[in-house]
Structure 1
Amino acid sequence: MTPANELRKSKAERTAEAREKARLIREAQLKKDKRNKLLIGWGIVAAVVAILVIVALVVTTTMKQNAPIAGEGPTPANGNAHGGVTLLANTDVAKTEPATVNAADLPDAPKTAPAEVVAPGAEAEAGKPVKVVLYIDFICPVCKDFESKYNEQLTSLRNDGKITVEYRPLGFLDSRSSTNYSSRAANAAACVANESPDKYAALVDSLFAKQPAEGSAGISDNDLKKMATEVGAQDISKCVDDKTYRPYVAFTTKEANAIGVTGTPTVFVDGKQWGKGDSAQTPFPDFLQAAIAAKG
């Protein structure tokens, strides 16, 4: 049809064409709206599935981390029967004999707090450096504060051969995280004591430096593994995943309760508890120096 003929279209024809165009536009819009609704619907479904997967992973991880722990288990190499790893000069640690511990063999905490807490293995030994024994919890903010204030002095005296420093990590504050972080961190530390004892002090420093807040989930097991690697320790992945030393941590925690330890940090210097009785008002550096002086 020529332009001239198009100009001669009747009004009815032009109206019909306009209606047809409108119909086609309307149908195209309806198809577009339907397609968008489908895309939105599938997007919502995908988002819900992703959320469910994340929730499932979180629940599975939490259940795994909070799973019951065996009552009996091995001590780590370089860990003593009271849950401690003793730091000597520089990166050396005290050697220990392998053993098996079982929390079921220990008594429960006393109903009445003892007048004096006696920590096994913390007593003075003639001709030996002063023993500093620290009951700690890796999520305990007061423990972190103690380390911040006194670690430099303790390290200097240790390197001079005047003292030894023994850490006994506990699971006292497991309830302050949703994943039993205290015990998980203590297990990771025991793994390093077993695999790379010369990196133990560095890991303890790192655990306090990166201490999570109470009430949080704490540091994940994967990040604990990375922290060990970052301080130069061998891979502890299997040890962490298998919870190898969680029974050891449980034993240490129950023994601490049984002797009357009620909080962390609890500090002993040659068997005498700092901050109690006669030492209640004595600054820790003075208390420690007095013990060193007494050794001559």
Structure 2
Amino acid sequence: MPDSKRQAKRATRAERRAAEETALQVQAAQAAKERKQQTLIGCIVVAIIVVLVAIAGFAVYKAMNPANSGEQASMTVDEAYSKIDKVKTKPAKASDKAGFLISSKGYSQKIDDAPTVSIYMEPLCPGCAAVNRQLDPTLVKLMNAGQLNIDLHFLNFQDNKSSDNYSNRAFNGAIYIAEHDDDPDHLMQYLSNIYAEDFQPGELSNYVSVSDNKLKKQAINAGVSEDVAAAAFSGDNEYVDWLTASNNYTILRPELFSSSGSFSSPTLTINGEYWDLHQLSLAKTSMVDGFLKAIGLDSDQVGVKGQMPPIGANKKPISLTD
């Protein structure tokens, strides 16, 4: 083969190798570019997930805590209590512990030798509704017979589980009724009406909006006058600031903490002593029978004037499990 042909052939092979190397370099560069893009996309996806998780976590936190939870969480119980005094509009009938005492004598008048049951409740709380439905008819009979004082505490820490400030509106109305209707039975019946199975709304995604007019009807059905009911649910919500301040104080009170070390609803105390509802299951008894045993009465003594509970006004509730 002539030298000229061999040289041409070698040149062709060299060009082919150079072309292949160039192609490999291009492929490598393209692969590197794609890896960089995938890494960037991956970082963006991770960042989006982190943001979504943060948003979801914040939403859950907000759903499980009071509306001003950030401020409230940093307060001491004394600081929270001091904020109650700073509220402009306060209910005159509220006690220094932010409760509404009722008895057979009316508001703010205690039967001296009768025990006092304090009930801490939230209008959206299913457990509060269960206590109300099972126990309140008996409590009302005892109260009207002068055998028991009832101390009501209204809370709003689940208000943001509704879409329309239901807790604020429902219990602002309850406070207004307490302030402007002198018959405690009307307030107790209003609470019974809003805790009824066919009325109490669900929470969060199960919540269905409840109008002020529907709440007003429950008050009127409880015996509240139309004028008072209309004012209670006029939209002014004049007691909401006090309701929130008292809520924030109440849930920080250590004497109301459950065995878990925090406040939960419903909470009941008898003569100021925490009454653990878990005793009912341990004792295999109903709520009514358990409560009557705790204050020392038999069922046939309920509503009988003069049949006073043996624990009186100062003794601790009787244990259901001893």
Could you tell me whether the CA contact under 8 Å between 1:274 and 1:284 is conserved in 2?
Answer: no
Which residue of structure 1 lines up, in the alignment, with residue 190 of structure 2?
A: 203
Which residue of structure 2 lines up, in the alignment, with residue 63 of structure 1?
A: none
Confirm or deny that 1:152 pairs with 2:145: no
Could you tell me whether the CA contact under 8 Å between 2:120 and 2:152 is conserved in 1?
Answer: yes
Confirm or deny that 1:94 pairs with 2:108: yes
Could you tell me whether the CA contact under 8 Å between 1:87 and 1:201 is conserved in 2?
Answer: no
Which residue of structure 2 lines up, in the alignment, with residue 289 of structure 1?
A: 296
Confirm or deny that 1:237 pairs with 2:230: yes
Return the match for 2:173 from 188, 191, 194.
188
The answer to which structure, 1 or 2, has the higher relative contact order (CA under 8 A, 6+ apart) is 1
1:244 counterpart letter in structure 2: E
- Count of paired positions: 199
In the alignment, the residues of structure 2 paired with residue 149 and residue 279 of structure 1 have an alpha-carbon distance, to the nearest angstrom, of 13
Could you tell me whether the CA contact under 8 Å between 2:156 and 2:171 is conserved in 1?
Answer: yes
Structure 2: stretches of 5+ with no match in the other structure: 1-66, 68-83, 257-262, 284-289, 298-307, 314-322
After superposition, residues 131-280 of structure 1 pair within 5 angstroms as: 131-198=116-183, 199-209=186-196, 210-215=199-204, 216-234=207-225, 235=227, 236-240=229-233, 241-260=235-254, 261=256, 262-275=263-276
In the alignment, the residues of structure 2 paired with residue 197 and residue 139 of structure 1 have an alpha-carbon distance, to the nearest angstrom, of 26
Which residue of structure 1 lines up, in the alignment, with residue 287 of structure 2?
A: none
| TM-align CA RMSD | 3.1
In the alignment, the residues of structure 1 paired with residue 249 and residue 97 of structure 2 have an alpha-carbon distance, to the nearest angstrom, of 8
In the alignment, the residues of structure 2 paired with residue 247 and residue 178 of structure 1 have an alpha-carbon distance, to the nearest angstrom, of 19
**TM superposition shift of 1:83:** 2.8
CA change 1:160–1:173 in 2 (3 A) is same
CA change 1:251–1:82 in 2 (3 A) is farther
**TM superposition shift of 1:279:** 8.8
CA change 1:277–1:140 in 2 (3 A) is closer
**TM superposition shift of 1:253:** 0.5
In the alignment, the residues of structure 1 paired with residue 181 and residue 215 of structure 2 have an alpha-carbon distance, to the nearest angstrom, of 15
1:227 counterpart letter in structure 2: Q
CA change 1:232–1:294 in 2 (3 A) is closer
In the alignment, the residues of structure 2 paired with residue 204 and residue 156 of structure 1 have an alpha-carbon distance, to the nearest angstrom, of 15
1:87 counterpart letter in structure 2: I
Structure 1: stretches of 5+ with no match in the other structure: 1-65, 96-124
Could you tell me whether the CA contact under 8 Å between 1:78 and 1:85 is conserved in 2?
Answer: yes
1:194 counterpart letter in structure 2: E
CA change 1:158–1:126 in 2 (3 A) is closer
- Larger mean Cα displacement after TM superposition, 228-237 or 169-178: 228-237
Could you tell me whether the CA contact under 8 Å between 1:77 and 1:193 is conserved in 2?
Answer: no
Q: Residue 292 of structure 1: SS of its match in structure 2?
A: coil
Which residue of structure 2 lines up, in the alignment, with residue 33 of structure 1?
A: none
Could you tell me whether the CA contact under 8 Å between 2:115 and 2:311 is conserved in 1?
Answer: no
Which residue of structure 1 lines up, in the alignment, with residue 114 of structure 2?
A: 129
CA change 1:286–1:223 in 2 (3 A) is same
1:287 counterpart letter in structure 2: A
Which residue of structure 1 lines up, in the alignment, with residue 99 of structure 2?
A: 84
1:295 counterpart letter in structure 2: G
In the alignment, the residues of structure 1 paired with residue 140 and residue 221 of structure 2 have an alpha-carbon distance, to the nearest angstrom, of 21
Return the match for 1:72 from 81, 87, 93.
87
2:155 counterpart letter in structure 1: L
> 1:235-263 deviations in whole A, cap 9, x for unaligned?
24344321111012112211112214411
Q: Residue 295 of structure 1: SS of its match in structure 2?
A: coil
- Percent of aligned positions that are identical: 23
In the alignment, the residues of structure 2 paired with residue 183 and residue 267 of structure 1 have an alpha-carbon distance, to the nearest angstrom, of 21
CA change 1:184–1:83 in 2 (3 A) is farther
